[in-house]
Amino acid sequence: MNWVLLLEQTLNGFQFGILLFLLAAGLTLIFGIMDLINLAHGSLYMMGAYFAATFTQWTDSFLLGALLALPACMLFGIILETVALRTLYARSHLDQVLATFGLILFFNEFVRLIWGPIGLDIPLPEQLSGSVELFFGIRYPAFRLVIIVVGILTAFLLYLLVSKTKIGMLIRAGASNRQMVSALGVNINLLYTIVFGLGAALAGLAGLMAAPIMTVEIGMGEGILIITFVVIVIGGVGSIKGAFVAALIVGFIDTVGRSFLPDILGLFVSNDVADTAAPAISSMLIYILMALILAIKPQGLFPPKGA
């Protein structure tokens, strides 16, 4: 066993988990409060990356680009909510799936029209492109460390927002009993728009942070969206805490599984078999995990109260 590699992959898994959490938090809030299945959440992630790419080109600075992309994403989400999604809240899940599926088609094509079919690369700023020495001479890419720190900070801010502020109180109330909140005279439409904007900003943040380490391309949000679904199903739909725990578990298992499964399998079967089977099995791991958890707890690890 290579301990340095294990540590490095654990950190990578943690970093992937953080990205998943940023997506899952918005998605689970939107579902918990508006009862809306938003397949187009992955498109918000994609828009975050594309906005960041464009703004970085304009300003010649990734930091400025990112700072501009964030409100742009939020605005984009708010417009999307007001124009298209608002009418879907009262509809069946099937209708929501279909309509938001239509939106994915639209956004993918829209991006292809504006930015062209070829993926973009965002160069990292120089201060962040190197690696940092953690301890015992183990080095880790600085930018991935930044993702982890920003992610944890965001999770903490989200926790403060949801559990300590008035708006957070309304969000929690909305998640457990929608009718009651609107009956008490809260402007529920405004609350919906705010929550959606927040979710869009979180997805955009994930997208723009992923942009420099993965390619910015059409459909980049779809693969990660499905993993995000796995995350919120495991965590319990509507629960931010569940999303956080599940995101870290899924991120860890997926990343570490991919790099260590051939070795682990090699202990039991011949190396040839292990090498051919491992890629398939490692991409199945999180789904197997999901199946196991749901077989035991059909409502996920942290089912929200009152649901």
Partner 1 sequence: MKLSPRATIITLLMIGLGAVPLIADGIDEPFYTVLFSRMLILSIGAVSLNLILGFGGMVSFGHAVYLGIGSYVVGIGTFHAVEDGVEWMGNGFIHIAIAVAASALAGLFIGAISLRTRGVYFIMITLAFAQMFYFIAVGNENYGGDDGLSLYTRSDFLGLFDLSNDNSLYYLNFFVLVASLYLTHRLTNSRFGKVIRGTKSNEQRMKSIGFPVYRYQLVAFVIAGAICGLAGVLSANQTDFVSPSVMHWTRSGDLIIMTVLGGIGTLFGPVIGAVAFLLLEELLSGVTEYWQLFFGPMLVLVVIFARGGIDGILVGLDRWWQNYFLKKKAEEN
Contact footprint for partner 1 (CB under 8 A): 31, 37, 84, 87-88, 91, 93-95, 97-99, 101-110, 112-113, 222, 226, 229-230, 232-233, 237, 276, 279-281, 283-284, 287-288, 290-291, 294-295, 298-300
Smallest distance, partner 1 to C-beta of residue 105, A: 4
Judged by CB, which is closer to partner 1: 15, or 108? 108
**Partners of 131 in the β-ladder:** 141
Reported residue count of the chain is: 307
The identity of residue 99, as a single letter, is: A
Q: What are phi and psi of 132, to 5 degrees?
A: -115, 145
Query: What are residue 141's DSSP bridge partners?
Result: 131
- CB nearer partner 1, residue 1 or residue 270: 270
CB of 84 to partner 1, least distance (A): 6
Instruction: Work out how close the CB of 12 gets to partner 1 at its nearest, in angstroms, rounded to a whole number.
Output: 19
Contact, 12 vs 238, CB < 8 A?
Answer: no
Q: Which amino acid is at 146?
A: V
Measured CA angle at 44 (ends 43, 48), to 5 deg: 115
Q: What is the DSSP letter of 131?
A: E
Nearer to partner 1, 55 or 229 (CB): 229
Closest to partner 1 by CB, 95 or 121: 95
Torsion sign (Cα): 257, 28, 244, 52 = positive
CB of 153 to partner 1, least distance (A): 29
> Residue 37 or residue 70: which is nearer to partner 1 going by CB?
37
